[in-house]
Amino acid sequence: MQPAKVLRHGYTTGSCAAAAARAAAWMLLTGQRQERSTVRMPGGTTWSPELQEISITETAVSCAVKKDGGDDPDITTGALIFATVSRRDLPGIVVDGGEGVGRVTLPGLDQPVGEAAINSVPRKMIREHVEDVCRMTGYQGGLLVVISVPGGQELAKRTFNPRLGIQGGISILGTTGIVEPMSERALVETIRTHLRQRQASGERFLLLAPGNYGASFAGKMLGMAPEQAVLTSNFIGQTLEMCREMEFAGVLLVGHIGKLVKVAGGMMDTHSRYGDCRMEILAAYAGAAGLAPHRIAEILRCVSCDEALRILREDGKDGPVLQHLIERMQEQLSRVGAGALAVEAVVFSERYGLLGKTPRAEEMEAAIVRQVQNSKQYPWSLEE
C-alpha cells in the first residue's frame, strides 16, 4: 500500500492582496523596486511570494501576486491579485476594490452593503502591512489601496457570490491567510454565510435545493427566480442543522429523486463517496408494494432513478413506492429538525416531473411565496 499523499497548502486571496499592497506601498514611498514581498500571516508564519506585472509611475505603483491554492480545488488558483497604491490628500489608509472584486449588495455579509467584498481579516492584513511601510519610511500622509483581479467577474460566476448578493467579481477572503486543502469545509462555511445573509434579511422560511436542477424546478413551481433557493450541495443534514441553530421557522427542500431517495435512507450527506443506496431503497419499497422478484432484480441493475421509475410505472407500483419513500423522507427530515425547525420536501424527476410532496409542503410553499412578495431585499419578483 502506498502512503497517503500529503496535500500541499496554499495561500488565500487575502494573503496575496496584502503581499501585493505592502510591496506597492514600499515601491511608491521609497522609489526602490522589489521583486518579492513578505507578508505575515495571522498565525505568525511568513510568506514571500514573487511579484508580477510591476508598474511604477510618479503617482501610483501597481503589482500582483499569483494566487496559489495548493492542492485545494480553488477556482482562483492562477489568478493575479493586484494592488495599486497611490497617495491621497486626507490622512489614513483606505482599502477598496477595483476590477474583478465584488461589491456587496445585500445585508448579512462580512462587509456592509456598498463596500468591496474584501473581508475583515484581509482588510486588516492589508492595512497593517501598509502601515508598517509608512512607519519604516516616515510617511505620514494618506494612501489609497485598490485591490483588483482581472477576470474576477468571470470567475465569480462559478462561485456562490451572485447568490450571496456580491456582484461584479470575486471576494477577497481568508481568516488564517493559508488555504488548507479541505474544500468540503469551505463549502459548508459558504452555505453558513448564505444562511446568515438570509437571516439578516429577516427571512423566517427558506427554500433549499441540493443543486441548480432543484433550484430551477422550485423556481418554476413557485413562480420565482431560482436564485431564491439556498444551495445545499450534498450537505443536506448540515444545512438543516445550521437552519435549526439560526432559528429559522421552516424550510422547503426541493430535490431530484436521485438525491432525496438517499435522504429517505438516512443519508444526510449524499455524496457518492459515502454510499449509493438508491436502487436498494427503491427495490425494498418496490418489494413491499408487491413488485415481482424479477422486476425487483431489474431495478437493482438500474443506473438511474428515472430508469427505476420507468419499471415501477410499467407495473403500476410507482404510487405506493413514492408514498412510502416520501413518508420515510419526512421522518428523516423531521428528525434533523428536532421539533424546532419545520422541514417539508418536494421530490421531482427530470423525466417525469413532480413525483410527490410531504404533507405540509404546500403550506411551506405559500409561506415562502408570501415572504418573497413582502420582501424588498431581492432584485427579482414573482412572475405575473
Q: What is the pLDDT of residues 71-108, one digit of tens each?
A: 777 789 999 999 999 999 999 999 999 999 999 988 77
240 sits in which H/E element: helix 236-245
- Which range is least confidently modeled, 122-126, 193-197, 362-366? 193-197
Q: Looking at residue 14, which CATH number applies to its domain?
A: 3.30.2110.10
379 confidence band (pLDDT: 50, 70, 90): very low
The predicted pLDDT at position 378 comes to 44
The answer to whether residue 147 is domain-embedded is: yes
Q: How far apart are CA 133 and CA 93, in angstroms?
A: 12
Same domain, 169 and 266: no
**Average pLDDT in the 167-175 region?**
93
| Alpha-carbon torsion (158, 164, 170, 175), positive or negative | negative
187 confidence band (pLDDT: 50, 70, 90): confident
Q: How far apart are CA 290 and CA 363, in angstroms?
A: 33
Domain range for residue 201? 187-374
Same domain, 78 and 167: yes
| Residues linked to residue 230 through DSSP beta bridges, in sequence order | 208
The answer to whether residue 285 is domain-embedded is: yes
- Domain endpoint, select from 128, 153, 178: 178
| pLDDT at residue 291 greater than cutoff 60 | yes
Residue 42 C-beta-side C-alpha neighbours within 13 Å: 17
The predicted pLDDT at position 384 comes to 26
**What value does the mean pLDDT of the chain take?**
91
Q: How far apart are CA 190 and CA 177, in angstroms?
A: 17
Work out the burial of residue 128: count CB atoms within 10 Å of its CB; fewer than 13 is exposed, 13-18 middle, 19 or more buried. Answer: middle
Same domain, 143 and 223: no
| pLDDT at residue 144 greater than cutoff 90 | yes
The predicted pLDDT at position 381 comes to 33
The predicted pLDDT at position 4 comes to 44
Look up residue 35 and give its three cell numbers. Answer: 521583486
Count of structural domains within the chain: 2
Look up residue 338 and give its three cell numbers. Answer: 428536532
Q: Give the chain's count of helices (H) and strands (E).
A: 13, 16
382 confidence band (pLDDT: 50, 70, 90): very low
**Average pLDDT in the 291-315 region?**
94
Same domain, 212 and 328: yes
| pLDDT at residue 283 greater than cutoff 60 | yes
Same domain, 343 and 224: yes
331 confidence band (pLDDT: 50, 70, 90): very high
Q: How far apart are CA 24 and CA 30, in angstroms?
A: 10
- 3-class secondary structure, 41: coil
Q: How far apart are CA 47 and CA 83, in angstroms?
A: 17
Q: What tens digit of pLDDT does each residue of 225-272 get?
A: 888 899 998 999 999 999 999 999 999 999 999 999 999 999 998 877
Same domain, 222 and 357: yes
The predicted pLDDT at position 327 comes to 96
